[in-house]
Amino acid sequence: MAAENYKKWIIVAIIAIVAVIVVLAASTSKQKKDAPLSEPNEITSTSGPMLGPEPLREASAFPDDPKHLSDIGDTYFENQNFEQAVIVYEKILKLDPNDVDTYNDLGLAYLYTGKAEKAIETIKKGAGMAPTYQRIWLTQGYILLSLKKQEEAKQALEKAVELDTGTSIAKEANRMLGLIKK
């Protein structure tokens, strides 16, 4: 008789636990439904990969403020979503075709999406617009070195060092020059 009561209490406990789980699941689901949705084009900074709705494919979906766009593009880039970064960076250059920093970022994004020729073309255009912008010469050297164009990479990296030998950019350019086979 005691064993039979013991079994009944176990069954009651299991039913109670299942009921609690169902109630918690239902209340959590209701909270998610009641939560306000963000604006459709709003992009929030997150740590880790960008999750959520399908990435935007049209540049027109982004705002027309180059500074805001730059933040969005950089977030995509940092999260290794290079295809989206390309879309954003291209829009920035349509709004501000003299933004050399964006040429630098776009060149790298092209490289990481497998568009090597576009990467080189973009970086060289930016370097031509601002020949004293040290970072773009480092990036140009990096892109060319990664494409096994060592002689061209060497020239770009030497230019980066020549512009200002005392910077971290020059230090990195010198490190990369050390990777080039003589």
Min mean pLDDT across 5-9, 20-24, 155-159 is at 20-24
In the predicted structure, residue 169 carries a pLDDT above the cut 50:
yes
SS (H, E, C) the chain: CHHHHHHHHHHHHHHHHHHHHHHHHHHHHHHHHHCCCCCCCCCCCCCCCCCCCCCCCCHHHCCCCHHHHHHHHHHHHHCCCHHHHHHHHHHHHHHCCCCHHHHHHHHHHHHHCCCHHHHHHHHHHHHHHCCCCHHHHHHHHHHHHHCCCHHHHHHHHHHHHHHCCCCHHHHHHHHHHCCCCC
13 or 127: whose pLDDT is higher?
127
When pLDDT is cut at 50, 70 and 90, the band that residue 17 belongs to is confident
pTM here is: 0.66
pLDDT computed for residue 32 by the predictor: 45
Q: What is the mean pLDDT of residues 30-52?
A: 40
Q: What is the mean pLDDT of residues 83-105?
A: 96
Q: What is the mean pLDDT of residues 75-87?
A: 96
The letter for the amino acid at 1 is M
In the predicted structure, residue 63 carries a pLDDT above the cut 80:
no
Average pLDDT, the chain: 81
43 or 3: whose pLDDT is higher?
3
pLDDT tens for each residue of 111-131: 999 999 999 999 999 999 999
Q: Domains plus CATH for the chain?
A: 59-177 (1.25.40.10)
pLDDT computed for residue 7 by the predictor: 73
pLDDT computed for residue 52 by the predictor: 33
36 or 58: whose pLDDT is higher?
58
